[in-house]
Amino acid sequence: MKGFKLNFIHLCDDASFSQEGKLSIIGIFDVVHLTNIPGTLVRAYLVSNFTVLDNDLKEAKIAVKVKNKKNNEEVIKTPELTVNVPGVNQPVGSKQKTLGLSLQLVNMTFKETGEYLIEVEINGEKIGEYTFFVNLVKSPKEVN
């Protein structure tokens, strides 16, 4: 049985949480425009949310990989993050438990254009993925 269900996953310019726990996501994108290859995306945020299906689960080990879809080469692989699952042993019929992830990704260097994949694993199980593209654009000096 899968322990989690993906609700959403986004790559964005910025993400923050209010004091009340409300999530703000700014600048969702699925294309990275670079002026040079290799090129670097200086900063982005990966934001995702999952419903916890196993009511007795007490902790989750989360791993994130960013890789080139064509050759499977890893751009970034995070260390495994261990988080406590909130609301363990909630009564039946209560609101479903959710687990959110906001991860700042810095200095992602891309060696080539093309399709890339972000994979999220929880407790060794692939829960979700997000596809994005890296494109090369001409700098203003090169445009006629």
CA geometry: angle 99, 9, 27, nearest 5 deg: 120
Does residue 116 lie in a domain region?
yes
Q: What is the average pLDDT across 102-128? A: 93
- 50: domain range? 4-139
- Number of domain units in the chain: 1
The rounded distance, in Å, linking the Cα atoms of 86 and 117 is 29
Residue-level pLDDT at 143: 54
The rounded distance, in Å, linking the Cα atoms of 110 and 132 is 12
Does residue 144 lie in a domain region?
no
Question: Does residue 93 surpass a pLDDT of 80?
Answer: no
Confidence band (pLDDT; 50, 70, 90) for 1? very low
Does residue 39 lie in a domain region?
yes
pTM: 0.83
Which of 87-96, 97-106, 128-137 comes out lowest in average pLDDT? 87-96
- Is it true that the peptide bond before 38 is cis, omega within 30 degrees of 0? yes
The rounded distance, in Å, linking the Cα atoms of 100 and 78 is 16
Phi, psi (degrees; rounded to nearest 5) at 39: -145, 165
Residue pLDDT, tens place only, 58-83:
888 999 999 999 999 999 999 998 98
| CATH value at residue 94 | 2.60.40.10
